[in-house]
Amino acid sequence: MRGRELTVPDSFLFTPTRLTDHRGCFYESYREDALTDVVGHRFTVAQTNFSVSSRGVLRGLHGVALPPGQAKVVTCHRGAVLDVVVDIRTGSPTFGTHAANVLTAESGAFVYVAEGLGHAFLALTDDTCVGYLCSTRYVPGTQVDLNPLDPDLGLDWGMAGTPLLSEKDATAPTLAVAAGAGLLATYADCLAHYQGLRGEC
């Protein structure tokens, strides 16, 4: 399993080595030691989630307030998605930038999204299934929702038409509004959190 950091610091793309023969293929979908070596600290799974989406469904842009924060391992188990990570940490030198990758069930690749970052994806196929390994449990009231169509973010979803969003996502605030309202984690607090995780190794 190979991992590399994306252009948004503290997010990583992992690609497994696939073994194929006449029967099909086999690969390791997740390895704790491989992720720890690349990310720099252990990742504890507290909750697993799945979403199933039709083609053109856009989910996000989502994050979790710090505390408690939530890191995620995001994998496309069926179909394909355009996966996007956005740096929404106020004070970050890369604040507002994003990294986009196509994740497919065939590749088995996954994205690690650190605490404080925002995440969204667009389903590129019908019956797309995405799985999320989460470092913390769902805590009502800690979700951070941003509008994925915020023109200042400049996210290119590559569709001729308008993607299908939930009402919550469609009416979510822009990055600038959320930052002005103090809804986002600070870069300094996130770095301190990551350092604390490294100290637990």
The residue ranges of every structural domain in the chain are 2-199
Q: Is-catalytic flag, 27?
A: no
pLDDT tens digits, residue range 61-100? 999 999 999 999 999 999 999 999 999 999 999 999 999 9
The amino acid sitting at 112 is Y
- Enumerate residues 6+ apart whose C-beta is below 8 A from 25: 18, 19
Q: Which of 56, 61, 50 is nearest to 85 (CA)?
A: 61
Query: Can you tell me the distance from the alpha carbon of 82 to that of 121, in angstroms, rounded to the nearest whole number?
Result: 5
Q: Which CATH fold topology does 2-199 show?
A: Jelly Rolls (2.60.120)
Report helix, strand or coil for 101. strand
Average pLDDT in the chain: 96
Which residue out of 62, 98, 119, 193 is catalytically annotated? 62
* Mean pLDDT calculated for residue range 4-24: 96
Query: Can you tell me the distance from the alpha carbon of 166 to that of 125, in angstroms, rounded to the nearest whole number?
Result: 18
pLDDT tens digits, residue range 29-54? 999 999 999 999 999 999 999 999 99
Which residue out of 132, 187, 193, 194 is catalytically annotated? 132
* Mean pLDDT calculated for residue range 114-126: 97
Report pLDDT for 159.
Answer: 77
Report pLDDT for 160.
Answer: 67
Report pLDDT for 162.
Answer: 86
E strand spans, the chain:
2-5, 11-15, 19-21, 24-26, 47-53, 58-64, 72-78, 80-86, 98-104, 110-113, 118-123, 128-134, 143-145
Q: Which of 10, 44, 30 is nearest to 74 (CA)?
A: 30
pTM: 0.96
Q: Which of 9, 169, 25, 192 is nearest to 92 (CA)?
A: 9
Q: Is-catalytic flag, 62?
A: yes
